[in-house]
A and B are shown apart, each in its own frame.
Chain A
C-alpha cells in the first residue's frame, strides 16, 4: 500500500508539472526549455520556509507566488525574443537557476537541502491532496482551453503577427500564460519537495526540463488528455520497470526523437488520426 501511495503521489506531481508547461508551450505556443527552474523555485521556497517553521499549507502559496513572479519576469523576455531565441533564453534561465543555487551556502549549495519537514499530514492524505490538486489543474486547463482566453492563446500560438493585427494585446496574454504556468509549476515544486523531503540543484536541471517537455510532446502539445496520460505513464515507467531506470534517459530521448520524427502531434494526434481513419472506413 505504501508503495502504491508513493507511486500515485509521484504521478500526480508529474501530471501537475506537465500541465503547467502545457499552459505555456501547448496553449500559448511559447516554447520553454527551462521549466524545471520554476519547479525548483517552488521547491526551494517551500523547503526554506517550512524549515524556518512556517506551516506547509502557508508555504504553498508563497512558493507559487515566488515562482509566478520570476515566471512573469521570464515572460517579459518572451516579449523581446521569439521562437528559437526564446527556446535558448529559457534554457539559459534554467542554467542560471542551477548556477545560482549551487553557489549559495544558504540554499545548501551543491549538496542540496535535506530533512525537509513532513507536510503535517499522513501519506494517504498527502496523496489525496496532490491528486486533488492535479485534478483541479486538469479542470482549470480544460476551462482555460474552452474559454475566450484559450482561443486567444491559440491565436497567439498559431500566428502572433496576425493576432496583433486583429487587435489582440499579445504581450498581455503571453504574460498571463507565463504567470499561470509558472505559478502551477511552483505548486508542483512545493509538493515535490515535501514528497521527497530532499532537494538538490541537480533535481531541477536541463534534463528535468527536457523530461517535462517530453511528457507534453509525447502527449500532444496543447492536448489536456494527452498530456495527462503521457505524464502519468512516463513518470511511473522507471518505478515500474527497475531496468528502465538505468536507461531512463535513453528511453526519454528515443521517445522524443521518434515522436517528433514520425508524429509531431503526439499521442493526441495519433488517436485523432486513427479515429479519422475509422470514420472514413
Chain B
C-alpha cells in the first residue's frame, strides 16, 4: 500500500516536473541554451494564476490568462536576451540566464512581497478516493491528467501539422530547414511561446497544490528541471518526460529510504550524477 501511494505521489510530482522540463528541453533542442530563467516564467505563471483567480473567481480563466501572458513574456525573453548572444560560446547564454533568473526572483520579492500569496478560497481541494484505497486531491488528479493531455496533444501536433514538422526539422538541422523555406525566427518564437505557456500552467498547478506562491518557488524546479533534461538526453522531448516521471518516483521513494542521509534535492542530484557517470549522454538518448 505504501509503495503504491509513494509511486502515485511520485507521478504527481513527476507530471509537474515534466510540464516545466518540456519547455526547457524545447529551447535546448532548438538553441542549445540552458534556459535557467525558464523557472522565473513558472513562478510568474503561479502569481498570475493566484491573482486572476482571486480577482475573478475562475480558475479556468486564470489558467488561460497565465498561459497566454507568460507565453508572450517567453517570446520577449528570447528576443531581448537570447537572440543577441546566440553566436557567443554556450556559457555566455547560461550565465546570462542565471543572472536573469536571479533578477526575476528578486523582482517578484520586491513587487509581490517576500511572504507570498495564496488563493482566497483554493479550488479543487476535495479528496477523491481511487483504487487501492489511495486518496488524491482533485488538483493532483488534474495535474496528472492535464499533463498527459498536454503531452498527447503536443506529440500529435509535432507529427501531424506543417508547423510541427517544421519544428522537428529545425531541431535536427537548422541550416537545411532554413534552406527549405522554414522561418527559423517563427519556429523559435513558437517554441518559446509553447514552452513558457506550459511552465505557466505548471506554476498555476503548483500554486494550487501548495496553496502558496512565493518569490523563491522557482529555484528548486529550475535546477531540478536542468537535471531532468540532462537525464533525458539534452534536447529529447520524450526523454525529458520519461526522466521527469522517473525522477518524481525516485525522489518519492528516496525521501523515505534515504531521508536520513540526504534531503530531497540532494537525492535528485545524486541520482543525476550517478546516471551521468554511467551514461554521459543521458538515460534515454540514442547511441
Interface residues of A (CB under 8 A from B): 31, 77, 80-81, 83-85, 87-89, 91-93, 95-96, 98-100, 102-103, 206, 210, 213-214, 217, 247, 249-250, 252-261, 264
Interface residues of B in 81-125 (CB under 8 A from A): 81, 84-85, 88-96, 98-103, 105-107, 110
Interface residues of B in 200-255 (CB under 8 A from A): 219, 223, 226-227, 230, 234
Residue contact B98 to A98, C-beta cutoff 8 Å: no
Task: Indicate if B62 sits at the interface (CB-CB under 8 A).
Answer: no
Interface residues of B (CB under 8 A from A): 32, 34, 81, 84-85, 88-96, 98-103, 105-107, 110, 219, 223, 226-227, 230, 234, 259-263, 265-270, 272-273, 276-277, 280
Q: How far is the CB of A264 from chain B (nearest CB, A)?
A: 5
B269 partner, pick from A80, A92, A255, A256, beta carbons under 8 A: A92
Q: List 29 A-B contacts (CB under 8 A).
A: A77-B276, A84-B94, A85-B230, A88-B227, A88-B230, A89-B272, A91-B223, A91-B269, A92-B269, A92-B272, A93-B273, A95-B269, A96-B262, A96-B273, A99-B270, A100-B266, A103-B266, A213-B95, A214-B99, A249-B105, A249-B106, A250-B102, A250-B110, A252-B102, A253-B98, A253-B105, A261-B81, A261-B84, A264-B85
A211 to B95 CA separation, bound complex (whole angstroms): 11
Residue contact A253 to B99, C-beta cutoff 8 Å: yes
Chain A residue contacts of B267, Cβ below 8 A:
99
Q: How far is the CB of A227 from chain B (nearest CB, A)?
A: 15
Q: How far is the CB of A86 from chain B (nearest CB, A)?
A: 9
- Majority secondary structure of chain B interface residues (helix, strand, loop or mixed): helix
Residue contact A103 to B93, C-beta cutoff 8 Å: no
Chain A residue contacts of B92, Cβ below 8 A:
260, 264
Chain A residue contacts of B93, Cβ below 8 A:
260
Known: A80-B276, A99-B265. A257 touches B81 (CB 8 A): yes
Nearest neighbor of B94 in chain A, beta-carbon distance: A87
Q: How far is the CB of B269 from chain A (nearest CB, A)?
A: 4
Chain B residue contacts of A214, Cβ below 8 A:
99
Nearest neighbor of B259 in chain A, beta-carbon distance: A103
Residue contact A260 to B85, C-beta cutoff 8 Å: yes
B234 partner, pick from A84, A89, A254, A261, beta carbons under 8 A: A84
Chain B residue contacts of A253, Cβ below 8 A:
98-103, 105-106
Q: How far is the CB of B155 from chain A (nearest CB, A)?
A: 25
Known: A99-B265, A103-B262. A88 touches B226 (CB 8 A): yes
Residue contact A103 to B261, C-beta cutoff 8 Å: yes
Which of A88, A210, A213, A255 lies at the interface centre, i.e. has the most chain B CB atoms within 10 A of its CB?
Answer: A88
